[in-house]
Amino acid sequence: MTTGGRSGAEGAGIRHGLDKAAVLDAAVRLIDARGTAGFSVRELARVMGVYPATIYWHIGGRKDDFLAEVAAHVIDGFMVPAPKGEDWRVTLRGLFEGYRKAMHRHPNIATFTGSQLVSNGMSSAPLIERILDALGRAGFEGTALIDAYNATLAALVGFVTLELAAAPARQQEWEDRFREDLAQIDAERFPRLHSALPDMANKAFILRWDNGSVVPLDGGFRVYVEAFIAGLASRTKG
C-alpha cells in the first residue's frame, strides 16, 4: 500500500519521525551497548519500535552496507571544514585526533570501521575529500598523491584499530594467565624485553591485558602521528 506515492515503509518511517540520521544514531547506541554480535536490523527495529521494513527503507538490507553507513556516520560527526589557508599538517593532525576520539567514544565500532572503509568507501566520501585536499595542499599530485592517500588512510585507521582491539572472552582467566607468562620471560634470551617490561606491561601493544578503552596509549599515538606527518613532509615541498 502506498500513501501519496510513498512506500508503506517510508510512510511508517515518517509517522515515527524517523530519518536516516535517527536510524544511524539508534544503530550506534545498539552497537555501543551490545557490539556487532548483538546487532541486527530486526533487533534495531524492535528497540526502535518499528517494522524492519522501515529500517531497510532508510539504509538497505545488507548488514555490511549498514555497518559501512554506521562507520561513516560516526566519522562524519567529528569532521568540520578546515579553515581557509590552514596548514596541511594541522588538517591531518586534526583528522587523526578526531578519528581517535570518535572511536574511543564508540570502541565497538572501531573494530569494524577499517574493513568497512575499505569495502564501502563511498559512504565516507567526505573523509576521502578531506584527506585528498590536505595532501593536495601539501604538494602531492598524480601517483604520489594516490600513494600518500593510501598511506594516510592506513595510518589513520591502523593505530586506533589495534589500540581498541577487543580483549579475549573470559577476560579475568586470560588476564591471570597472561600476567604469569610475562613474569616468566627469560632475561637471558630476551634481555631488552625483560628490562623494559615493568614500564611496558599493560601499556604497550601485545604486552597488555586491557585495551585502549581502559588504558589509552596516548604517548604512542602522539609519536605515531608526528612521525607519520614528518615522513609525508619529507616527500613533498609543500
- In order, the DSSP letters of 43-56 are HHHHHHTS-HHHHH
Averaged pLDDT, 69-90: 85
- CATH 1.10.10.60 residue spans of the chain: 9-61
- With vertex at residue 208, the alpha carbon angle to CA 207 and CA 211, rounded to the nearest 5 degrees, is 140
pLDDT at 15: 40
Q: What is the predicted pLDDT for the residue at 63?
A: 74
Q: How confident is the model at residue 121 (pLDDT cuts 50, 70, 90)?
A: low
- Nearest CA among 156, 56, 168 for reference residue 114: 156
Digit-coded pLDDT (tens) for 31-69: 999 988 888 888 998 999 988 888 888 776 677 778 888
Closest CA to 163 of 204, 118, 112, 222: 204
C-alpha gyration radius of the chain: 22
User: How large a percentage of the chain has pLDDT more than 70?
Assistant: 87
The mean per-residue pLDDT over the stretch 170-186 comes to 90
Given a cut of 70, is residue 238 above it in pLDDT?
no
Of the candidate ranges 82-91, 148-157, 188-197, the one whose mean pLDDT is the lowest: 82-91
Least-confidence region, from 38-42, 79-83, 176-180: 79-83
Q: Is the pLDDT of residue 148 over 90?
A: yes
Contacts of 179 (CB under 8 A, 6+ apart): 209
Mean pLDDT throughout 4-13? 38
Q: What is the mean pLDDT of the chain?
A: 85
Whether 81 has a pLDDT exceeding 80, the answer reads: no
Other CB atoms within a 10 A radius of the CB of residue 102 amount to 20
CATH homologous superfamily of domain 9-61?
Homeodomain-like (1.10.10.60)
* Span(s) in the chain for CATH 1.10.357: 75-166+211-233
What letters, b where the CB count within 10 A reaches 16 and e where it falls short, cover 49-79? ebbbbbbbbbbeeeeeebbbbbbbbbbbebb
Q: What percent of the chain has pLDDT over 90?
A: 55
CATH architecture for residues 75-166+211-233: Orthogonal Bundle (1.10)
Instruction: Give the pTM.
Output: 0.83
